[in-house]
A and B are shown apart, each in its own frame.
Chain A
């Protein structure tokens, strides 16, 4: 079956702009989480959505937001971009059964954002 799909794969923005990234999870997976990867900070958790509700949130400013749709697809938005937002943004989908996480968590190829 198809894996986690992220679009766009690459994008370039300038400071002050905003960006929206999209993630389509594996079929049947209802939980989607987002991570930011930078050389300085490594892999950091942004937030996690399940059934259109944000369940967990990392320590990022309010400029970082997300949402999930009824078909489990998710988007994340970063407003007022800063140079430090340049990163690889990774989406992961996970399988939940009867509301309990199975422990499965698979990542997409990521969206590489460059802020100039």
Chain B
């Protein structure tokens, strides 16, 4: 069975600090997708990134970067020079190739001005 673990329930950092959100996944499939979503107070899940299991290249998008390591079954998310607007709940999710996501429990990130 597939499983996603986000061990960090809540994180608080001072603005401009870097912060890394951890995600560890379990799956028996060799083909799968990993996702990160941001959920602001409004409730919508905002898509941040999708990575398939065959692409282990790390990705950087502005202040955001993702580190995918199949050897440790991890897909960690780093925000560089954090801003108050980054405050939200962040979810990591896994799909075994079909439109059915298994989510982690989320990490609530608070950026202190």
Contacts and interface: CB of A to CB of B under 8 A. Distances in A.
Interface string B88-105: 000101010111111111
Nearest to A109: B44
Given A42-B105, A42-B106, A43-B91, A107 B100 contact: no
B35 to A, nearest CB: 7
Contact of B43 (A92, A105, A110): A110
Contact of B100 (A56, A104, A109): A56
A55 B98 CA distance: 10
Contacts of B42: 109
A101 interface: yes
B43 A103 contact: no
Contacts of B102: 45
Nearest to B37: A107
B50 A107 contact: no
Contact of B99 (A43, A44, A56): A56
Given A42-B106, A43-B91, A107 B44 contact: yes
Interface string A84-108: 0000101010100000010111111
Given A33-B99, A109-B43, 7 more contacts: A31-B99, A43-B106, A90-B43, A92-B45, A94-B99, A105-B101, A110-B43
Interface of B: 33, 35, 37, 42-47, 50, 52, 91, 93, 95, 97-106
Interface of A: 31, 33, 35, 42-45, 48, 50, 55-56, 58, 88, 90, 92, 94, 101, 103-110, 112
20 contacts: A33-B100, A43-B91, A43-B93, A45-B101, A48-B98, A48-B99, A55-B98, A58-B100, A88-B43, A92-B45, A92-B99, A101-B97, A103-B33, A105-B50, A105-B95, A106-B47, A107-B47, A108-B44, A109-B44, A112-B43
- Which 4 residue pairs are nearest across A and B when measured between Cβ atoms? A107-B45, A43-B103, A109-B44, A110-B43
